[in-house]
Amino acid sequence: MVLDIFISIFTEVIKEPIMKFIVDPIKQHISYPFIYKSKVETLDSEAKQLKNKRLKLQQSVDEATRKGEEIYESVNKWMDDSDKAIEEAEEFIQGEEQAKKRCFVGLCPDLKTRYLLSKKAEKKALAIDKLRNEGDLDSISFRPPLLQIVASSVYNREALNSRVLFLKQVMDALRDPNLNMIGVYGMGGVGKTTLAKEVHRQAIEEKLFDVVVMVAVNQTPELRRIQSEIADVLGLTFDVEEIPGRANRLYERLKKEEKVLIILDDIWKQLDLKAVGIPFGDVCRGCKILLTSRSQDVLSREMRTQKEFRLDVLQDEGRGVCLK
């Protein structure tokens, strides 16, 4: 081969140390037009390997998605980058196949074209090899926190104008940095739970808090259930079974959030927030608590709310009155 003869003569007159830095790079560049076919075959092999890895990852992604898990953004990016690299490689290889056919009619690429195409094939193959190695992912998905169902608004009718004003008072209180525990009270059936759902919906839609959770307490509080419902929204999994241990885990987790709203609906008697694992007061200024109850006394005396709102029976001119 002319290339080999040229290199052998050239290396005879140059000392070994110099040859390493001068001759080898020259030899590599001169060889590109003559190893064009080999470079394309390498690219084809790399593209097929990447495609197989991409298909296997897609199966894992589909399985994780069926389980309700979220796919990491880095995984989605790798898949998109792989799709693009595979598509470009296949287009390049198809172009090379067309070049072969043209050779039968005397239109083979000249040495300069082969040189450029050979380098391009090498560059693409190296990029695909790097991309394929980056696809060795330890984890592709995560289980997101459960989102509570947000009730649709019922406060958009003209007859509920007074309720809208009342809702605004409550939302303003929740925005007040000097208040972290407020209450709404009123007789049974007056609409306290509906109001709590409106607060829940609006707080989420307006992104007033990083975490918003609403839990029904009821006449006989079930601490384990209350803990679980709050933990689900936080994406917290308890590694302990006893209620005090779960309370500690929940307490520490909530303290890590900057802005939290916990709505405890339908409280009949004092609820020990520490026993549940809900931080409040100075230990967690970012944690806001909204309570609803039939009794103002339960709110102000037993739960020590800083402000209470009375919700009256809805009438044509009905309105909620803030007493404190």
pLDDT tens string 132-150 = 888 777 788 877 666 666 7
DSSP 216-272: EEESS--HHHHHHHHHHHHT---S--SHHHHHHHHHHHHHT-SSEEEEEEEE-S---
d(CA 214, CA 96): 63
Q: Which residues of the chain have pLDDT under 70?
A: 1-36, 67-68, 96-117, 144-149, 151-160, 315-324
What pLDDT is recorded for position 169? Answer: 93
Q: What's residue 318's pLDDT?
A: 42
Is the pTM here over 0.85, yes or no?
no
One-letter identity of residue 78: W
Length of the chain equals: 324
CA distance 294 to 292: 7
Q: What is the pLDDT of residue 9?
A: 44
Instruction: Pick one of 3.40.50.300, 3.40.47.10, 3.30.9.90, 3.40.250.10 as the CATH number of 158-322.
Output: 3.40.50.300
So what's the pLDDT on residue 97?
Answer: 66
Please report the pLDDT score of residue 209 as a whole number: 92
3-class SS at 135? coil
CA 217, CA 232: separation in Å to the nearest integer? 16
Contact 46, 38 (CB under 8 A): no
Residue ranges of alpha helices (H) inside the chain are: 2-12, 16-31, 36-66, 73-103, 111-134, 161-175, 192-205, 223-234, 243-255, 273-276, 296-297
Pair 135, 53: CB distance under 8 Å: yes
What residues have CB less than 8 Å from 106, skipping those under 6 apart? none
At residue 238, the pLDDT reads 87
pLDDT in tens, 294-324: 999 999 999 999 999 999 887 654 444 444 4
Q: What is the pLDDT of residue 29?
A: 47
28 Cβ contact partners less than 8 Å away, ≥ 6 residues apart: none
Give the domain ranges of the chain: 35-142, 158-322
